[in-house]
Amino acid sequence: MTGRNPAPRRSYGGRTAEERRAERRGRLLAAGLELFGTRGYAATSIERLCATASVSTRNFYEEFSGREELLAALHRDINERAAQALAAAYAEAADADLPARVERAVRAFVTVTASDPRWARIAFVEVIGVSAGLERHRLSWRARWEESLVAMAREAVERGEAIDRDYRLTMIAVIGAVNNLVHHWSARDQDIPLDDITAELAHLILAAVTMPR
């Protein structure tokens, strides 16, 4: 929920109240990305966020109920962008074989989530264990990823490219492996080539859906 203390609607300095408010919200999101993604969520106060974003505490509470809602907004943003990139890459490779489809989807996901280590830290580390509410938010996104991956596996089964079985537990395991490897790569200043990370993850997924248990 946002807008707990609605800003005035009058124009000021050639910009409407809505435009000024959107700009402040953008600065707060940028401050959250920088501070949560470098110092960490627990070490970042609302006062520090406001100082970094050059907004008042009142302005902060016009947009967010607290730090937790700001963290959730950032986590939602990175997941939405990753999901869109993966879906687009997978759709563009619709006529390709399974290895090519998986490789392009994995590359899209890694490129979005890990190219900036701050996003990787927020997506895979800082969001964990904050509160029951944020854990529900995180698990709802994991469920969405699970559904997407299971759907891709079922498509491969229908094409005769994968073994026909229940893939839900497999995809939960794959999600954990992907998240940990992407974070590991990003946290180490990307000292391993992106192609190697993509190839390893694609190999893992292909093995999971083509090798008998």
**171-197, pLDDT tens digit by residue?**
999 999 888 888 887 777 667 788 888
Which pLDDT score is estimated for 137?
94
Contact indicator for 32, 71 with CB cutoff of 8 Å: yes
Phi and psi at residue 15, to the nearest 5°: -125, 145
Across the range 24-42, mean pLDDT stands at 96
SS3 167: coil
Which pLDDT score is estimated for 4?
55
CA distances (Å), 168 to each of 25, 158, 174, 188, 206, in order?
38, 17, 10, 31, 15
Contact indicator for 128, 41 with CB cutoff of 8 Å: no
Burial 142-167 (b: 16+ CB within 10 A, else e): eeebbebbbebbeebeeeebbeeeeb
Residues 72-84 have pLDDT tens digits of 999 999 999 999 9
4-18, 45-59, 157-171, 197-211: segment of lowest average pLDDT: 4-18
Mean pLDDT for the chain overall: 89
87-91, 120-124, 151-155: segment of lowest average pLDDT: 120-124
The C-alpha angle 60, 62, 65, rounded to 5 degrees, equals 75
DSSP state of 211: S
Whose tokens are 């700009």? That residue is: 23
Q: Crossing angle of helices 98-114/67-92, nearest 10°?
A: 150
Which residue type occupies 210?
Answer: T
**Segments of the chain assigned E as strands:** none
Which residue type occupies 202?
Answer: A
DSSP 100-120: HHHHHHHHHHHHHHHSSHHHH
Which pLDDT score is estimated for 69?
97
Which pLDDT score is estimated for 58?
94
Half-sphere exposure of 187 (CA within 13 A, CB side): 12
pLDDT at 48 over 80: yes
pLDDT at 152 over 80: yes
Across the range 97-112, mean pLDDT stands at 93
Contact indicator for 197, 109 with CB cutoff of 8 Å: no
Give pTM, 2 decimals. Answer: 0.86
Which pLDDT score is estimated for 1?
41
Which pLDDT score is estimated for 173?
92
Whose tokens are 């986590």? That residue is: 75
CA distances (Å), 56 to each of 47, 62, 63, 68, 72, in order?
9, 10, 11, 18, 21
